[in-house]
Chain A
């Protein structure tokens, strides 16, 4: 999202649909799509079904890695209902392709790819690991093995620009809202009041 679109969103927020939160994709698909073979009714060319990256990822998380919707939604950085909608859409598209004998093309969607980030203690640099299958043992810059995994990616903080907060209505305690966990289920640590959502 660039500044002009953010400006537009803040100004015309009442008239615009909510912005989609970028979904995190850990394992992009190995293939670009699937083709049916032995088609019985030849002649007419059918349009392919476009399966988005996020839908592929949702299907993989739930049916291949056997996570439940709640765990999978946290890994994709969306809320649980959003995850379920993405998953339902993926199943509908695949069923349509199977029944009608259409091609499946995997492309598009509002996603970002995430690789692991590391921090080197000796030279102070951050680096990522683009090869998911190999593990990192040393810093690529100074060769030091004093590295640690870096979870909170400071460089993507711009992306969380419209992140909401959970606020205690009584004492003003605030914490960052975590997607997938409703604010009302969380309690203020000092006065035990259910928290409420606040937009920045």
Chain B
């Protein structure tokens, strides 16, 4: 299962971005084989519809869950109808690395 995390920078030490559509980078983590991919967000400077465009980008990559600080009002119903789970983490001190470690523990337990 693929999980997307919004990130402020292009390394694993960078912190979770609190915005969804306007975040700098998306980090996708595949819990089946442990691969990590860093995608720069092409829409982080777009003024309008950044969230909707980001949803399209991530859904084309078959992401099942998205971890971010906040989701906008337009994004929520879109993700709901696409059956993508939203996880809101208001703690911006966590780095992408720690989140991936947390996910790793959770999904290795399940199998």
Contact = CB atoms under 8 A, between A and B. Distances in A.
A128 B86 contact: yes
A125 B85 contact: no
A68 interface: no
Interface string A36-56: 000000000000000000000
Contacts of B89: 123-125, 141
B99 interface: yes
Given A112-B77, A141-B102, A155-B70, A129 B85 contact: yes
A78 B65 CA distance: 31
Contacts of A88: none
B106 A141 contact: yes
B57 interface: no
Contact of B105 (A129, A143, A155): A143
Contact of A143 (B83, B90, B106): B106
> Range of interface residues on chain B?
20 to 34
B65 A126 contact: no
Contacts of B81: 28, 113
B90 A127 contact: no
A96 to B, nearest CB: 27
B84 A112 contact: no
Interface in B22-74: 65, 67, 70-71, 73
Interface of A: 1, 28, 111-115, 123-131, 138-143, 155-156, 158-159
